[in-house]
Structure 1
Amino acid sequence: MAVELLANKKVLIVGATGGIGAEATKMIKNSQGNVFITGRDQEKLKKVAKANKIPDDQVFTMEVTDPESVQKVADQIHSKVSQIDILVNAAGVGYLKKFEQIEYEQMSRVIDINLKGAFLVMQAFLPPMKESKKGMIINIPGVLGRAPMAAAAAYAASKYGLNGMVKSLREELKRTEIRLSNLYLGGVDSEFWDDIDMPVNRDKFITAQEAGRAVWFMCQQPTSGVVSEMVIQPFNHQVI
């Protein structure tokens, strides 16, 4: 059934070089999706493309904080296909620091990638969806986009903003069949934690594969329904 629902669907995965994006790419491609991928790191992007046999002309280096970069990729993709059926925004950056230790430059970077980046990507790929009045957009605000945590002021600000932006956009699009989904993940064992100075037990976290499977599941919903929100957390620190 999953193969039938995703077969030949044009799916764009933004941030395909991250743990969640890479796993989602693999599962969607294995379900016969017609996958396009983007990422900032060209070498990592090539590895993901090679591992999943994605053609070179469907692989794009893109900087989500750069309006020209995003629009250029959108134009290139739309010159090949009329529209993307499913847009998965898996790009993001992690940052956890006590409030008084947050540096302004880092605060700006988190907002630029997690919030403004999502804005630029959706704005670039939404017009053809609006014209056809159909499509799907999946964002990943994470649990910290709806529940507070100490030392997460900067990160939560970016993700709460994303949550609010998506919900507002949903109101604009409710006369169409464009479906917007938010995936709230908590405690994923991914590169998010590589540079975080905080004692955590990553052995008890959700795996990147499980997170990717959640994205894959959301992608395969029939047009008669939509998973508006999904929350997945490690059982040992469930908060919402």
Structure 2
Amino acid sequence: MEKIESKVVIITGASSGIGKATAKLLAKKGAKVVLAARREERLQEVVREIEQEGGEASMFKVDVTSSEDMKKLADFALKKYGRIDVLVNNAGIMPISRLNELRVEEWDRMIDVNIKGVLYGIAAVLPTMRERRSGHIINIASVAGHVVMPTSAVYSATKYSVRAITEGLRQEESAASRIRATIISPGVTETELIHTVNSPEVQAMAAHLKEVSISPDRIASAIAHAIDMPEDTSVNEIVIRPTVQSM
């Protein structure tokens, strides 16, 4: 994957799951990865794993719900590497529940992380990408951004929003500044998202998901594929599910 080699890639939510798998794969392919998340010790562990495998990685503790934190993250990457080629907006939470449970604080948190976090990431890197007339922003949505189910109303709303934001970004920037925009919508995947669920009903429903979920490595491969395309080609959306997932 010669298109990936030497690219500077920021990945949020990089301490576990899809973010961690993506960081390790891209570093293996020669990218310089900047790992961002709140859990500093976990980030340090991932950086050590990458370096032990011969890759290049650095880390920055960040809260994606803070626009100032995201700006500092971008400044860190620019100072260390001189440019930002790719941003993977991967951080997200999924405390799904029925609306009548009235988990308003969880609704607010999903909006802050899943929507505002994506917007703050875009705001942090867009000026430098526009200046260079080059860059790639990859936003992680979900199959829940295509289909709404009972208990997923707010989570689905946030992921529909991610798709809308990404498509708007593509329309505004692809011709004007040659910035590529990609939506990745995973189905059931082995991640820590289920640990953010507090609804007893949903926890019971989710007990069987591990049996059908796919490895985050599959999602990482889809992200790498999008990055690996020649600069004149933009992969705009990938939906990737377990074979046995019907919806």
Question: Which TM-score bucket, shorter chain as reference?
Answer: over 0.9
Q: 1:223 to 1:87 in 2, by over 3 A?
A: same
Q: Does the 8 A contact of 2:189 with 2:213 survive in 1?
A: yes
What CA distance in whole angstroms lies between the structure 2 residues aligned with 1:195 and 1:138? 23
| More displaced 10-residue stretch of structure 1: 138-147 or 106-115 | 138-147
| More displaced 10-residue stretch of structure 1: 206-215 or 89-98 | 206-215
What CA distance in whole angstroms lies between the structure 1 residues aligned with 2:234 and 2:174? 12
Structure 1 unaligned spans of 5+: none
Q: Does the 8 A contact of 1:91 with 1:114 survive in 2?
A: yes
Give the structure 2 partner of residue 9 of structure 1: 7
Aligned-partner residue type, residue 81 of structure 1: Y
Give the structure 2 partner of residue 185 of structure 1: 186
Structure 2 unaligned spans of 5+: 198-202
| More displaced 10-residue stretch of structure 1: 206-215 or 21-30 | 206-215
Q: How does 1:190-229 map to 2 (within 5 A)?
A: 190-196=191-197, 197=203, 198-199=205-206, 200-229=208-237
What CA distance in whole angstroms lies between the structure 1 residues aligned with 2:37 and 2:212? 28
Identical residues among aligned pairs (%): 30
Give the structure 1 partner of residue 36 of structure 2: 38
Q: Cα distance, 1:142 vs. partner?
A: 0.8
What CA distance in whole angstroms lies between the structure 2 residues aligned with 1:76 and 1:210? 29
SS in 1 for 2:88: strand
SS in 2 for 1:5: coil
What CA distance in whole angstroms lies between the structure 2 residues aligned with 1:82 and 1:32? 17
Q: Does the 8 A contact of 1:102 with 1:154 survive in 2?
A: no
- 1:26 partnered with 2:24: yes
RMSD of aligned residue pairs (Cα, Å): 1.5
Residue deviations 1:122-146 (CA, integer Å, cap 9, x gap): 1011111111211111111111112
Q: Does the 8 A contact of 2:33 with 2:56 survive in 1?
A: no
Give the structure 2 partner of residue 50 of structure 1: 48
Q: Cα distance, 1:101 vs. partner?
A: 1.0
SS in 1 for 2:97: coil
Q: Cα distance, 1:238 vs. partner?
A: 2.7
TM-score with structure 1 setting the length: 0.93
Aligned-partner residue type, residue 14 of structure 1: T
SS in 2 for 1:139: strand
Residue deviations 1:177-230 (CA, integer Å, cap 9, x gap): 110000011111211123431243312111112122222222211112111111
What CA distance in whole angstroms lies between the structure 1 residues aligned with 2:180 and 2:72? 24
Q: Cα distance, 1:60 vs. partner?
A: 0.3
Give the structure 2 partner of residue 238 of structure 1: 246
